[in-house]
Structure 1
Amino acid sequence: MSKEGPDWDGLLKWSLSHSDGTGEARNLSEDDRRWFMEAMQAQTVDVMQRLKELTQVMNTPEEVLESQGVTPVDIEDMLDELQEHVEVIDVANDLHSVGGLVPLLGYLRNAHANIRAKAADVVSTMVQNNPRSQQLVMEANGLEPLLTNFTSDSDVTVRTKALGAISSLIRHNKPGIAAFRLANGYAGLRDALGSENVRFQRKALNLIDYLLHENASDCSIVTELGFPRLMVHLASSADADVREAALRGLVELARDKNGGNNSGHIEDEEKLKQILQERIKDIGLMSQEDLGAAREERQLVDSLWRSCYNEPSSLGEKGLLHLPGEDSLPPDVASQHFEPPLRAWAANRDADKNSSAEKKQAPLLLGLGPAPGLENTQGSSTSNANTDADKQK
């Protein structure tokens, strides 16, 4: 399924041989022009035609492909190519019009785990920040196989990829969020938090954080399902991204509790306090470089401490909450690189203003000035009058 790339080196050499960049552009001969156009057309991919070709392969029964020597690895390569194409929003939306969306979703049920994972990657790329493709996938019932793979697939990579696709599908998509909730998607997220796979945990926590931020009422759901206990445990994870994501979720729960929507979101606050104290201790042992990288974690620990215990954490007293220079303005790059020209421009502008002001400061004249066009006549008359006066003297 792989294809050779464009012969860009040949085209570059041809281009350089016809121009050194210093002389005037010369007219190409008809043969040169024809060769160049043929070379460019040979390397230009008709994306719509290619989508149709890939769709034809996806619509071909697997046994037929096997009889023709097409292997699962070939299908994976084809999905990799398709993913590159659908990175363009218009191409992603066109996949449905050429009949490729339904067979793509069918690959989510393929017997090969790698193909299921690759198909989820393609779907994730298609629907990310793309409302039209989100709608098309929802209408094609694409959420159902993704949820199945996310919650019950035996391969953790497939589960993780399916979760990533679900996250892209339901973000900024209210019907998708509603369908996720109705399908008991939160139970799948709870199971993901209990997994030993760090990447799976991270994706689940990020989606939880988004859902709680969008729907504060879901705090009661995650509390009933036991999320706070799992988040408290993950707040001490060895993975920094998992720790921060868990702390963000706990901050959302604590804020909702303080807002009066529900009480007891974080049941084991003593356990949480112990973990936060350990994080403060570990932060105090960090190098200056690590402290800079842990800026968000430091702020989350302090915010969670304030929300739960109505007092600032000891990070502030230890000088670990705001490091020197973190709250300062960004470096003045403009003045360093552009100050001389700007200053010269400003100086010229001021000089122009002063010159204009000097021009406007004419001597005060009594009476009306000369009429337009009579300036020279007036000047001559004045000169003659002065001459006559001298003669009389």
Structure 2
Amino acid sequence: MAGDGMKWDGLLKWSLAHSDGTQPPRNLSEEDRRWFMEAMQAQSVDVVKRMKEITMVMRTPEDVLESQGITPADIQDMLDELQEHVESIDMANDLHSIGGLVPLLGYLKNSNAGIRAKAADVVTTVVQNNPRSQQLVMEASGLEPLISNFSLDSDVNVRTKALGAISSLIRNNKPGIAAFRLANGYAALRDALGSENVRFQRKALNLIQYLLRENNADCSIVTELGFPRLMMHLASSDDTGVREAALGGLLELARDRTSGGSTTLAEEDKLKQVLKERIESISSMSTDDLGAAREERELLDTLWSACYNEPSSLRERGLVVLPGEDTPQLPPDVAGKIFEPPLRAWAAANPSESTSGSNASQEKKQQSPLLLGPAPGNSST
């Protein structure tokens, strides 16, 4: 895309020339606005063209690519580029229309572990906060190879990336959650908690917490599968993220009123022992470490209260809320942070701005875009 560089160089130089902060924002002239939109439209067309080229490569049989000297590293680089393009929701949805989604999902079954992992990474980006692409991936039977890789792959990185893609695919997607349950997904999550890879454990715990928050009825399932004991063990992990996610999962179980979750947990001597040990560890922390452990402090206190109907000793010692900290309103949503990438979260919160044909979108298109500084050819007064 050598020719595109000239367009972007021009846009960059122009933007820099008129955004030095010395002038107030001004509307573009009609001529400059037209030039700007044409340049942006030309780039969009080129991105689609490039995605079509990548799709052609993905459709090419593996042995043919090898005969042409294409290596697995080359394929991973190509998938890296594709991932950048599908950061845009529009481009992510276009991937299916140009025929690229199915061969991308095919790469989940590639013989090379690096390609399988990278393909799952791209799928994650495609479906994040994107109901349309979630539906398209489900219709293309994309959940099946992801669950297979998550459950059975010999490479822990492939398993971790597949879990990340599953998490993004089924978030706010009721058919996806139902399919995950039917595919014995909870059993695979239980196995993941027994892994020695902390990143894999964190992702599994965060998905468990999200699923329990979405449907309290699943608390009975995870209890029967032995999750509470596993989460109690992980609540003493050396990894902060694992500890917080494990405590968050236990808190969801404690809040379950349908199966008496708090009573069941309260009867576990191991839980009380774990919580006491964590409370003592926090009580001996320095001021800086206490600040970093704020979420864990809140989780410990809330979980203790839910199970034993009394404040924890952290509260008695004044360590739940330190001087200068706001009083917590709700326990922290540890899992939510994992599933809310900024770009897609913004798009999900502003559907009218990303939906063509909506009144809000049309009104925004009619407004002249603003840049910092005067438009070219206009003198400041």
* Partners of 1:219 and 1:265 within 8 A in 2: no
Give the whole-Å Cα distance in 1 for the aligned partners of 2:226 and 2:75: 41
Counterparts of 2:194 and 2:319, CA distance in 1: 31
Aligned to 1:133: 133
How well do the aligned residues superpose, as a CA RMSD in angstroms? 3.0
Question: Partner of 2:344 in structure 1?
Answer: none
Unmatched segments (≥5 aa) in structure 2: 23-38, 329-381
- For residues 192 and 219 of structure 1, the distance between their equivalents in structure 2, rounded to whole angstroms, comes to 18
Report the alpha carbon displacement of residue 268 of structure 1 after superposing the two structures with TM: 5.9
Overall identity of the aligned pairs, in %: 72
Q: CA deviation at 1:269?
A: 1.8
Distance 1:55 1:97 in 2: 11
Give, as a single letter, the amino acid of the residue that structure 2 aligns with 1:195: S
- Quickly say closer, same or farther: Cα 1:174–1:46, change in 2 above 3 A: same
Cα separation, partners in 2 of 1:139 and 1:15, compared to 1, 3 Å: closer
| Per-residue deviation, 1:327 | 2.1
Higher Cα radius of gyration: 1
Greater alpha carbon shift after TM alignment, 112-121 vs 299-308: 299-308
2:274 & 2:286 partners in 1: Cα distance?
A: 20
Give the match for residue 200 of structure 2.
200
CA contact (8 A) 1:107 1:119 kept: yes
Query: Which residue does 1:189 correspond to in 2?
Result: 189
Matched residue pairs, number?
312
CA distance in 2, matches of 1:13, 1:318: 56
For residue 272 of structure 1, what is the aligned residue in structure 2? 271
How far residue 309 of structure 1 moved from its aligned partner, in angstroms, is: 1.2
Q: Deviations over 1:129-165 (max 9, x none)?
A: 0000000000000000000000000000000000000
Q: Is the 8 A contact 2:266 2:308 kept in 1?
A: no
Residues 215, 129 of structure 1: CA spacing in aligned structure 2 closer, same or farther, 3 A cutoff? same
Say yes or no: does 1:244 pair with 2:277. no
Q: With structure 2 as the length reference, what TM-score do the two structures score?
A: 0.75
Where structure 1 has 5 or more consecutive residues not aligned to the other structure, the ranges are 23-38, 330-393
Give, as a single letter, the amino acid of the residue that structure 2 aligns with 1:276. L
What's the counterpart of residue 380 of structure 1? none
The 5-angstrom pairing of residues 82-97 of structure 1 reads 82-97=82-97
In the alignment, structure 1 residue 46 sits paired with structure 2 residue 46 = yes
| CA-CA distance at 1:285 after TM superposition | 1.2
Structure 2 CA distance, aligned partners of 1:209 and 1:146?
20
**CA drift at 1:228:** 0.1
In 2, are the aligned partners of 1:47 and 1:85 still within 8 Å (CA)? Answer: yes
Give 1:211-360 correspondences, 5 Å limit: 211-256=211-256, 259-262=257-260, 265-266=264-265, 269-327=268-326
CA contact (8 A) 1:223 1:265 kept: no
Cα distance change of structure 1 residues 144 and 260 upon mapping to structure 2, 3 Å threshold: closer
Q: Deviation of residue 292 (structure 1)? A: 1.3
Post-superposition offset of 1:192 = 0.5
The amino acid across from 1:110 in the alignment is N
1:261/1:60 CA distance change after superposition, 3 Å: same
By how many angstroms is 1:47 displaced? Answer: 1.3
What is the CA–CA distance in structure 2 between the aligned matches of 1:13 and 1:202, rounded to whole Å?
A: 40
Q: Which residue identity lines up with residue 309 of structure 1 in the other structure?
A: Y
Task: Name the SS for the 1:138 alignment partner.
Answer: helix
Q: Kindly tell me: are residues 182 and 290 of structure 1, through their superposed partners in 2, closer, same or farther at Cα, counting changes over 3 Å?
A: same
Q: 1:197 to 1:56 in 2, by over 3 A?
A: same
Tell which deviates more after alignment, 305-314 or 103-112. Answer: 305-314
Note if contact 1:237-1:243 (Cα within 8 Å) is conserved in structure 2. yes
Q: Are 1:186 and 1:222, in contact at CA under 8 Å, matched by a contact in 2?
A: yes
**2:265 partner SS:** coil
The residue that corresponds to 2:113 in the other structure is 113
One-letter identity of the residue aligned with 1:189? L
Check 1:328–1:154 CA distance in 2 against 1; reply closer, same or farther (3 A cut): closer
Rounded Cα–Cα distance in structure 2 between residues aligned with 1:49 and 1:9: 17
The 1:55/1:246 distance shift into structure 2, 3 A limit, reads same
- Aligned residue type for 1:148: S
Asked if the contact 1:169–1:176 (Cα under 8 Å) also holds between the matched residues in 2, the reply is yes
Write the distance in 2 (CA, Å) between the matches of 1:7 and 1:326: 51
> Separation in 2 of the partners of 1:282 and 1:274?
12
